[in-house]
Amino acid sequence: MAPVGGNARATNYDYTKGKLGDLIDIMIVEKCRLFVSAVGVPPKWAVEKLHKAGIPVMNMVGAPKHVAKALSVGVDIICAQGGEGGGHTGDIATSVLIPKIVDIVKGHKSPLTGGPISVVAAGGIYDGRGLAMSLCMGADAVWVGTRFVAAKEANSSPLHKKAVVQADFTDTIRTIIFSVSGLIDSVKTSEEIVNEMVTDCVQILKNVQKLIAPTPKL
């Protein structure tokens, strides 16, 4: 894959071993709904091929400087992953990165849909509060990772799930995974996780509305 920025993680290795075109063909045949690229920007020819098949392309970024290159190849969605996220694409906090990326993509259009470029927030998001925060900062959606390691349907082992649930903040190490493990306290179904997240988010946003005075008084 092409490099992303001068300070990108020291790996521009092609994990597909030259088979990206073949893999994209399989995605098209299988009617995949989304193509996601991380640790690099996909080649422009790949994006165009996916677009011809009606498949949107999302690029994960960890810093504002990475956005321009992603937009230059025609991606439709930017996933802004803060340093709290598993995979740690950068050191910028989610709360700082999201609004900056939202500002950068304003005015840019998706080559596939013709609509605005969407921003997906990621990094330390595990419940309705994180979802509400992301929406308030201008994101269109969230990308949740570690929370679903502790989902009943996940292929992770029972020991793995137990480790995530029992971890506290002293067990969370700044490596490449599990920044929010200290906040996850139970194993639930994916449906329960999503429903709880959305329900809590809606309630939080309703509560925030109560703080808005109908007529500001100075």
Average pLDDT score over residue span 77-101: 86
Residue 8 has pLDDT above 70, yes or no: no
Query: pLDDT tens, 103-142?
Result: 999 999 999 999 999 999 999 898 999 999 999 999 999 9
Distance CA 87, CA 38 (A): 10
Residue 5 has pLDDT above 70, yes or no: no
Buried-exposed string 133-167: b where 16+ CB fall within 10 A, e elsewhere = bbbebbbeebbbbbbbbbbeeeebeeeebebbeeb
Angstrom CA distances, 50 to 41, 147, 206, stand at 14, 29, 39
Residue 207 has pLDDT above 50, yes or no: yes
Average pLDDT score over residue span 10-35: 88
Distance CA 20, CA 208 (A): 46
Buried-exposed string 79-104: b where 16+ CB fall within 10 A, e elsewhere = bbbbbbbbbbbbebebeebbbebbeb
Residue 4 has pLDDT above 80, yes or no: no
pLDDT score recorded for residue 178: 47
Average pLDDT score over residue span 55-83: 95
Distance CA 126, CA 122 (A): 10
Indicate the CATH number for domain 19-212.
Answer: 3.20.20.70
Angstrom CA distances, 147 to 140, 209, 210, stand at 19, 28, 30
Percent of the chain with pLDDT over 70: 83
pLDDT band at residue 22, thresholds of 50, 70 and 90?
A: very high
Q: Is 114 exposed, middle or buried (0-12, 13-18, 19+ CB in 10 A)?
A: exposed
Distance CA 70, CA 18 (A): 21
What's this model's pTM, rounded to 2 decimal places? Answer: 0.81
Identify whether the C-beta of residue 66 lies closer than 8 Å to the C-beta of residue 105: no
